[in-house]
Structure 1
Amino acid sequence: MRIIPSQGPPRLLAAAQLTNSVGDGAYYVCSALYFNRIVGLSPTQIGAALTLGWAAGAVVGIPVGHLADRRGPRGVAVLMSVATGTAVGSFLLVRSYAAFLVAVCVYACCQCGLAAARQALLAGLVEPARRTETRAYLQSTVNAGLALGAALGGIALHLDTESSYRVALATDAVAFVLAAAVLLRLPSVPSAAGPRGREERRLTVLRDRPYALVSALNMVMLLYMPLLSVVLPLWIMQRTAAPGWTVSALMVLNTVTVVLFQVRMAGRVTNLESASRAVRCSGIVMFLACVGFALSSAPSSAWAAAAVLAVAAGVQVLGEMLLGSGSWEIAFTLAPEDKQGQYQGFHGAGTAVARLIGPLLLTALTLAWGIAGWLLLGALFLAAGAATGHAVRWAARTRPGAAPGTAPLASAPQARLIRKH
């Protein structure tokens, strides 16, 4: 089973992604404790700063993506990678809440800008028929890197010293700089934008209502992201008889499954029709996963509760992979080739918004409402997945070159190209 992309730009993109995701894994494990115990900030202060930071990031990603279209995505991606590393490094120097707030906002904005520029770079270096496949490889790489970085962060947690936490954060800062060096080895992608007329400088994506609807529905589906990291640990400890180590076991299950099977799952998505079908199936699967998580509160046996959670988590990661495969194809295909940066920045803002509102919304639903809250969350996934197909058909009809009254979802030549690879 191949988990490494072919030589050339896809492999270099994966190498850059692996490098900074290793650092991110260490950062995610250690950052909250570092800010709380070493810097001396309260959990409320940390949460408020992160909320503001990701809100700013959701907005900034769009103009940075537009800059990538105008100036070329490689240079912007390198700049954003170095800037992100610098922002992480600044965390080692902050000693006041004001400085921390500024550093967090810069960090989140650079992260979102980097994501948009990298997507534009992928679109510029990889032919359309292989973009979803390549994006699947990158997602597998991200999960592998996060797992390795989390292990390094675990060492810092075990040592539980200021020096160990600072080393973990410094590792993330250095990783982003190294990733920038890898990105520099990629071929330069010329600007896809035309002459610098007034019309060309506008953010076209902000007036593309069908694409906005598709992105909004994708944002709803991305609410699965806080499940494993925030909601399930609280649910397991407060509402189930499962042992505490179940949290780590579910994280390992999720990571390994994505690493091994995301590329194979993406191979089934060849056009907008199959992408819409994948997202619709993802909504169904996510609903079933929510039912499973709800039922995990019923068993009184620790092992039985852990088994129910494991099954539900396995179903959830299937929905996650289906969503990724479908949403990447939709985002790339519906975006104009000369505006991939701003469109990917807009679509990718859903990740920042999910990080922003997801923890509060999902914990309120599940911990306050219990089983009913899980079922409501599942129904939300179900409805968003079902509506995506209609939104994609509307968007496809509005693309340049689409015949009136048609919805050009399928592309036989594109499907043949993907199957060759």
Structure 2
Amino acid sequence: MLKRFPVPPGPPRRLALASLLMTAGNGAFMTCSALYFTQVGGLTPTTLALGLTVAGAVGLLAGVPLGHLADRRGPREVAAALVALNGVAAAGYLLVRGFPAFVLIASVFVVSERGSRAALQALIAGLLEGDQLVRTRAVIRSVNNLGVAVGALLAGVALQIGTTWAFSAVLVLDTLSFFASALVLRGLPSVPPAPPKPAGAPKLAVLRDAPFAVFTALSGLLSLHTVLLEVIVPLWIINHTHAPVAMVTVLFVVNTISVVLFQVRVATRVHDMTTGVRASRLAGLILCAACVLFAASSTGDAVVAGIVLVAAGVVHVWGEMVVSAAGWTISYELAPADSQGQYQGFFFTGYAASVMVAPTVLVFLLIQWGTPGWLLLGGVFVLAGLAIGPAVNWATRNRVAPSTA
């Protein structure tokens, strides 16, 4: 399957395989997790949402220290250990029969997931460089979408059966996928740990890096787009358009196929700080255009609304791919070579915080307020994309040598 992607054998292909295994298993479980926890795990929809919010908040604190651990102990070893811990937590879900157990296990799951992402990004940066690094990151994102799609198809069987046994089988699959991914990661070359910091140097330098924090916050604003397709657009279609509900599935298919086919092509055009800043500006404009199209879908009949929604979906996924490529490139370029783990952990924390608050904010802004909310969000995207340039310039002027970071 991986041979269909333009990624060479060796570490790039192993990294892509590890990601495919993780996302296929996790995609299968996430597709039927709500039914599992409410029908088998003893939760109500309200307690499920509350537990996920608590786990997400706990996970926000994990990225930087676990990323720092990857820098100091070696990203391959830490990434493999945390991915395996993800598998242990997935198996722990089999024991959930109430709220306390769910919060505990979900917190372990989210913490290990956030930490493994930071460690994995540091591992990629340690193993690859140049065009190979850019292309591999893009391939991994394409593979992730493919893995989620494959997992969702497998989960469809469990959803049709609808029994405790069927849901538990999906959890076992998820567990095994994490363990298999950890084994693949252990087979990669080891990246030496970063040398110890000089006496008096801050251990978590990223927490004192104001320009990088501003860049992370602006990227978090652009990341608001990530919940549009999953949460906002289905509610928008049902409540504000004449389009059939089936359009939700159409837009998901358009999004998934587009990322699988075009993410590599988009990412290879963003290869340094200059192209990253340019891509950020472009992404803000593209996402603004998508907001305008989504708003316009409320004005026509079913056919017109459907056509406009497809156009909005295409523009949205284009912006999504450009945002991802720009964020990868700039975050890697700004991070000191010996602190990639903690910097990538901090960068992903900004994304995670954005995704955590976005559903509540955007439901009010877009579903309750309607078209003016879409236009306001589009303006936020434009301003955030434009502001990344000055933030990167500030960060570049204040960069320090890794040995004193």
2:273 maps to 272
Query: In the TM superposition, what is the alpha-carbon distance from 1:136 to its structure 2 partner?
Result: 0.7
1:413 maps to what in 2? none
Query: 1 CA distance for matches of 2:58 and 2:6?
Result: 34
Q: Could you tell me which residue of structure 2 aligns to residue 333 of structure 1?
A: 333
Task: Measure the CA separation in 1 of the matches of 2:384 and 2:339.
Answer: 26
Separation in structure 2 between the aligned mates of residue 368 and residue 120 of structure 1, nearest angstrom: 41
Alpha-carbon shift at residue 3 of structure 1 (Å): 2.1
Question: What is the SS of the residue equivalent to 1:135?
Answer: helix
Q: 1:198 to 1:95 in 2, by over 3 A?
A: farther
- The one of 117, 120, 141 aligned to 2:119: 117
Q: Provide the residue aligned with 2:41 in structure 1.
A: 39
Once residues 75 and 13 of structure 1 are traced to their aligned partners in structure 2, the CA distance between those partners, rounded to angstroms, is 14
The match for 2:257 is 256
How many residues end up aligned between the 2 structures? 400
* Alignment check: 8 A CA contact 1:237 1:244 kept: yes
In structure 2, C-alpha distance between the alignment counterparts of 1:357 and 1:67, rounded to whole Å? 27
1:12-411 matches, cutoff 5 A:
12-194=14-196, 197-199=199-201, 202-300=203-301, 302-400=302-400
Task: Answer whether contact 1:70 1:193 (CA < 8 A) is retained.
Answer: yes
Shift, 1:196, TM fit: 7.2
- Shift in Å, 1:398: 1.2
Deviation at residue 229 of structure 1 after TM alignment: 1.0
CA distance in structure 2 between the partners assigned to 1:89 and 1:105 by the alignment: 14
Q: Distance in 1 between matches of 2:133 and 2:63?
A: 20
Change (3 A) 1:4 1:32: farther
What's the offset of the Cα at 1:132? 2.4
- Answer with 157-166 or 369-378: which moved more: 157-166
Q: Tell me the distance in 2 between the aligned counterparts of 1:349 and 1:118.
A: 15
What is the alpha-carbon distance in structure 2 between the residues aligned to residue 354 and residue 20 of structure 1? 23
TM-superposed deviation, 1:182: 0.5
Report the AA paired with residue 396 of structure 1. T
- CA drift of 1:199 comes to 2.4
Q: Secondary structure at the match of 1:92?
A: helix
The answer on whether the counterparts of 2:219 and 2:351 sit within 8 Å (CA) in structure 1 is no
Instruction: Give SS of 1:318's match.
Output: helix
Determine what percentage of the aligned residue pairs are the same residue.
Answer: 45
State how far apart, in whole Å, the 1-side matches of 2:265 and 2:186 are. 29
Match for 1:105: what amino acid?
A: S
Q: Give the Cα–Cα distance (whole angstroms) in 1 for the partners of residues 357 and 20 of structure 2.
A: 27
| TM-score with structure 2 setting the length | 0.96
Q: With structure 1 as the length reference, what TM-score do the two structures score?
A: 0.92
Structure 1 unaligned segments of length 5 or more: list them: 402-421
Tell me the distance in 2 between the aligned counterparts of 1:216 and 1:47: 25
Contact kept in structure 1, 2:281 and 2:386, CA below 8 Å: yes
State the alpha-carbon separation in 2 of the partners of residues 245 and 222 from structure 1.
26
Amino acid aligned to 1:400: V
Alignment partners' CA distance in 2, 1:374 and 1:29: 28
Gaps of 5+ in 2: none
- C-alpha contact (below 8 Å) 2:283/2:319 kept by paired residues: yes
Return the alpha-carbon distance in structure 2 between the equivalents of residues 140 and 314 of structure 1.
16
The amino acid across from 2:350 in the alignment is G
Name the SS of the counterpart of 2:155 in structure 1. helix
Contact 2:63 2:345 (8 Å CA) reproduced:
yes
Judge conservation of contact 1:85–1:177 (CA < 8 Å) in 2: yes
1:2 CA displacement: 6.0
Structure 1 residue 395 displacement after superposition: 0.6
Partners of 1:193 and 1:339 within 8 A in 2: no
| Cα distance, 1:387–1:184 mapped onto 2, change above 3 Å | same
User: 1:198 deviation in Å?
Assistant: 4.9
Q: Is the 8 A contact 2:96 2:102 kept in 1?
A: yes
Q: 1:132 to 1:58 in 2, by over 3 A?
A: farther
| Stretches of 4+ aligned residues off by more than 6 angstroms | none
Report how far residue 129 of structure 1 moved: 4.6
